[in-house]
Amino acid sequence: MSEATTGRSVLITGGNRGIGLAIAKAFLANGDKVAITSRSEVTDLPAGILAVKADVTDEASVDAAFKEVEAAHGPVEVLVANAGITKDTLLLRMSEDDFTSVLDTNLTGAFRVLKRASKGMIRLKKGRVVLISSVVGLYGSPGQINYASSKSGLVGMARSLTRELGARNITANVVAPGYVNTEMTDVLPEETKDQYMKAIPAGRFCEPEEIANVVRWVASDEASYISGAVIPVDGGLGMGH
Ligand SMILES: NC(=O)c1ccc[n+]([C@@H]2O[C@H](COP(=O)([O-])OP(=O)(O)OC[C@H]3O[C@@H](n4cnc5c(N)ncnc54)[C@H](OP(=O)(O)O)[C@@H]3O)[C@@H](O)[C@H]2O)c1
């Protein structure tokens, strides 16, 4: 492990549970200085992870969270935009609020943290951005027009950032998980779970740690020439998409 890939200031949005928490633990094990955001108070995080409050739909709260992290750990060098929500329903029943609220968290929320982080990365002359998308962003999914739109938007975001800031030693990549065992998928109907299971070549669902390992790697020096990529971690579910 090279010295350059440890000890960095890492920020993960929505890191109090699920995939975000697994990502936080992976960076902590790597020797980085890890901060997570959560909307509510968190008390049971592993020692060494700094928790700051932030709602990614609120620019002022994002700014306050960054200030806290910068004071404790220095400018954010690795940003993982992970916070996300679903509000699944078929198009005919989907209200405009169902659509815009999911976009506001998943896509505009990523924009808010990315914009705030980019200033520090430009000054540092280095940075790693990882946007957590979904297989659904490019594969599509009935009942998820809001969610899929938000997740495919992250691809354009990472690629445009790569073109804008790629020459400044900043990479931006998308990790696209398939079906991962977390609270988000726990609430899905059994029938939907069965359908996914039948469609996944790996024949099993993913554990959050399997996403976290890829995020940690794509933010490492080993992945220094990868930018604008969409990396599927889905057991083959989305092949070709
Ligand atoms: N699970 C899967 O199968 C799967 C598959 C593909 C992609 N993903 C994506 O992976 C990411 C993490 O998913 P997960 O399964 O770990 O979900 P999860 O267990 O539901 O956790 C979601 C996280 O996002 C945070 N969050 C939601 N809205 C927020 C907001 N407005 N401001 C700040 N934080 C907010 C939550 O914070 P609170 O605790 O405060 O609510 C929580 O930490 C999401 O972007 C999701 O779309 C998940």
Structure confidence at residue 62 (pLDDT): 98
The DSSP call for residue 206 is: B
If pLDDT is split at 50, 70 and 90, which confidence band does 207 have?
very high
Structure confidence at residue 79 (pLDDT): 98
**Residue 129 maps to a domain:** yes
**Residue 239 maps to a domain:** no
**Residue 235 maps to a domain:** no
φ and ψ of 170, to 5 deg = -120, 125
Residue 4: pLDDT over 70? no
Q: Ligand 1: which of 55, 58, 85, 100 to mutate, most ligand atoms within 8 Å of CB?
A: 85
**Residue 211 maps to a domain:** yes
**Residue 106 maps to a domain:** yes
Q: Determine the atom of ligand 1 nearest the C-alpha atom of 106.
A: 45
Other Cβ atoms closer than 10 A to 100: 12
Other Cβ atoms closer than 10 A to 142: 10
Q: Determine the atom of ligand 1 nearest the C-alpha atom of 206.
A: 3
Domain limits for position 67? 3-228
If pLDDT is split at 50, 70 and 90, which confidence band does 70 have?
very high
pTM over 0.85: yes
Q: Determine the atom of ligand 1 nearest the C-alpha atom of 104.
A: 31
**Residue 234 maps to a domain:** no
* pLDDT, tens only, 155-190: 999 999 999 999 999 999 999 999 999 999 999 999
Is the CB of 84 inside a 6 Å radius of any atom of ligand 1? yes
Rounded to the nearest angstrom, the distance between the alpha carbon of 84 and the centre of ligand 1 is 4
Catalytic (active-site) positions: 147
Residue pair 210/174 in contact by the 8 Å Cβ criterion: no
Q: How far is 129 from 4, CA to CA, in rounded Å?
A: 16
Which residues have CB under 8 Å from 189's CB, separation 6+?
A: none
Mean pLDDT value across residues 48-60: 97
Other Cβ atoms closer than 10 A to 132: 25
Q: How far is 67 from 25, CA to CA, in rounded Å?
A: 22
**Residue 196 maps to a domain:** yes
Q: How far is 236 from 219, CA to CA, in rounded Å?
A: 23
DSSP 52-88: EE--TT-HHHHHHHHHHHHHHH-S-SEEEE-------
Q: Which CATH number do you get for residue 133? A: 3.40.50.720
**Residue 39 maps to a domain:** yes
Give the count of domains, the chain.
Answer: 1
Q: Ligand 1: which of 16, 17, 106 to mutate, most ligand atoms within 8 Å of CB?
A: 17
Is the CB of 180 inside a 6 Å radius of any atom of ligand 1? yes
